[in-house]
């Protein structure tokens, strides 16, 4: 019984971890573009970042 619940928790934590990493990358991209705009430089696309 414990092993079946353990795999469900691992999937949940993995999904949560990857979601947080994705959030951090997007947040860094937004901050980077804000800084570039403040310096008068053109914004980058997400692919270039």
DSSP 1-49: -HHHHHHHHHHHHHHHHHHHHHHHHHHHHHHHHHHHHHTTPPPPPTTT-
pTM for the full predicted model: 0.67
Whole-angstrom distance, CA of residue 31 vs CA of residue 49: 12
Rg for the chain, CA atoms, rounded: 18
Instruction: Please give the chain's pLDDT, 49 residues, in tens.
Output: 555 667 777 778 889 999 999 999 999 999 999 999 999 999 998 888 8
Can you tell me the distance from the alpha carbon of 41 to that of 47, in angstroms, rounded to the nearest whole number?
A: 17
């Amino acid at each position: 019984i414990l092993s079946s619940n353990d795999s469900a928790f691992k999937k949940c934590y993995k999904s949560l971890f990857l979601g947080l990493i994705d959030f951090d990358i997007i947040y860094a991209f937004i901050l980077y573009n804000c800084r570039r705009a403040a310096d008068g430089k053109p914004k980058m696309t997400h692919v270039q970042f």
